[in-house]
Amino acid sequence: MAHDLVRARRTIATRVLLSFAVTLIAFAVTALWSVAAQRRTAADSEELSKGYLPVALKLGQLRATQATLATLIDGLPDERDPVSARLLLGTLASARHTKFLETKAAMTELAQIGPGLDFSGDLASIETEVDGDKPGLGRLLAAAFEGDKDSINREIVQVGAIEHDGDKRLHTLADRVSSSMEQLSSDAKVRERRSVYALVALAILTLAVGAFVSLRVRRMLTPLAAVTERAQVVARGDLTPREPPEGDDEITELAATFERMVDAVGRARTQALSNERLAAIGKMAAHVTHEIRNPLSSIGLNVEMLEEEIPAEQGEARKLVGAISREVGRLEQLSEEYLRVARLPSPRMEAEDVAALVRDVASFVKLEMERAGCTVEVTVAEKAPPALFDEAQLRQALLNLLRNAREAMPSGGTIDVGVRAEGMSVVVTVDDRGSGIGDDVRARIFDPFFSTKGEGTGLGLAITRQIVEAHGGTISCASRDGGGTTFKIALPIAPARAT
């Protein structure tokens, strides 16, 4: 039980913590996704700016140098100044070599930025091919310097083919680089668009999770406001117990405990009012006893003497005297009932068999019940344990309940009396088959001076409750299945040492 309470007290704190943890996780996922998308966009931008763009620029310059060199070789037969042509070809060949080195360096940087994007192998193959024309280019320049047309044309065919093939291969390589750049740009745009969609979806999800968590926390804390409102109602004096809310967290446990406290305070206040009333009755009974009991005894004695003096033929006078005598007796009985309240001592508790007392009381009222057309049936469960009680006071309480049941059945019937063990109590039930008691009457049935009969003091059930509660027990009244009323007395079981 203690473990369950500890678990329950931790439940709401755990739920709130988990709810906010879910919100933080959702926010963290969104933030990490945003960071990852930004890093990917930055990587694409770096790959373009520091990788592809330098390669494309250097490759473009290399292509221009190669194309110029190929064009110059094609026009060499018509060149009139072989010396200038030779110098220019040497300068272009040297510049082409420098451009090859710069393009290689740019491609190496690109390969480091974007693994798998290495074009340096193709460039090296082209460089090897065009560098192979150096001997032919030397022979071509020598023939041009000597003016040997046949040698010039023959060398131009070989060297020009190599140079133009190199130009074509550089053009193809440039197209591949450009295609890779376009593909990278397209992929970057797709990723950027997906990242935007994902960020929007994650942001919406985070907002939804936050709203759900807020509503959930508010729902979990709603009973706390209800408990506060209930406390204000109780502070204004409403001690009517209510059904506590359902749940397994500490707030509902607090509400249930609060309702039990309200019920206990209400019962304590009711008992205090009852005790105050009974105390007032005791004081009044003592006063009434002191002031009128002796005069009533004197009146009763004089009435009896007067009745003896009246001749038998004066029947009307004897009837009047008899009526006076009965009223005096009723007043004496009423004063005795008040005196029982005033004189009710503290019970002398002894461990006794409740079933034996019940059977004895049932036997005592047997003739009284038979005259009213009622029978008493006693049912005792097996292993009914003894209880601590004052025999005389508990007998009085049982007599009050049995006579109350008899009066509830003016046409007669069966009164069921049961004795059984229930938890740590010995329970005695008295069932009648009368017309029953309404809820509004049942709530006041144990109040002093409250009675549903046309005559009576309304103290019988109040005294019965006073006796039971003085024994540390409880008494209750409920509707009986099938009609009628059930009174239930629960007395604590006697401890083993007392037995």
pLDDT digits (tens, 9 = 90+) for 151-199: 666 766 777 777 788 788 888 888 887 887 787 777 777 777 777 777 7
Q: What is the mean pLDDT of residues 423-442?
A: 83
In three-state secondary structure terms, 489 is strand
Residue 266's H or E segment, with its range, is helix 250-288
pLDDT at 4: 45
Q: What is the DSSP string of 11-22?
A: HHHHHHHHHHHH
**pLDDT band (50, 70, 90) for residue 302:** confident
Q: Between the CA atoms of 190, 196, 202 and 205, what dihedral angle is there, to the nearest 10 degrees? A: -110
Q: Pairing relation of β-strands 413-422 and 374-380? A: parallel
Name the residue among 375, 379, 464 with its Cα closest to residue 417: 379
Q: What is the mean pLDDT of residues 374-391?
A: 86
Burial 22-60 (b: 16+ CB within 10 A, else e): ebeebeeebeebeeebeeeeeebeebbebbbebbbebbb
Is residue 437 a contact partner of residue 477, using CB atoms and an 8 Å limit?
A: yes
Render pLDDT for 333-370 as a digit per residue (tens, 0 to 9): 666 666 665 555 577 888 888 889 999 999 988 888 88
Tally the C-alpha atoms within 13 A of residue 40's C-alpha that lie toward its C-beta: 18
Distance (Å, whole) CA 70 – CA 169:
13
Q: What is the mean pLDDT of residues 409-429?
A: 89
| 303: pLDDT strictly greater than 60 | yes
Tally the C-alpha atoms within 13 A of residue 284's C-alpha that lie toward its C-beta: 11
DSSP state of 443: T
Other residues' Cβ atoms within 10 Å of the Cβ of residue 281: 23
**pLDDT band (50, 70, 90) for residue 77:** low
Helix residue spans in 47-133 (DSSP H): 53-74, 82-113, 120-131
| 416: pLDDT strictly greater than 60 | yes
Q: What percent of the chain has pLDDT over 90?
A: 3
| 2: pLDDT strictly greater than 60 | no
Is residue 385 a contact partner of residue 496, using CB atoms and an 8 Å limit?
A: no
The least confident of 30-34, 69-73, 77-81 is 77-81
Render pLDDT for 274-298 as a digit per residue (tens, 0 to 9): 666 666 666 666 666 656 666 767 7
Name the residue among 45, 42, 49, 30 with its Cα closest to residue 196: 30
> One-letter amino acid identity for 105?
A
Q: What is the mean pLDDT of residues 4-26?
A: 62
Name the residue among 135, 131, 143 with its Cα closest to residue 79: 143
Distance (Å, whole) CA 166 – CA 136:
15
In three-state secondary structure terms, 222 is helix
Other residues' Cβ atoms within 10 Å of the Cβ of residue 8: 16
Length of the chain: 499
pLDDT at 1: 40
Is residue 428 a contact partner of residue 354, using CB atoms and an 8 Å limit?
A: yes
| 127: pLDDT strictly greater than 50 | yes
For the chain, the average pLDDT equals 75
CA angle 341-344-346, nearest 5°? Answer: 145
pTM above 0.85, yes or no: no
pLDDT at 188: 74
| 3: pLDDT strictly greater than 60 | no
pLDDT at 247: 65
Q: Which two tokens stand for residue 347?
A: 């019970």
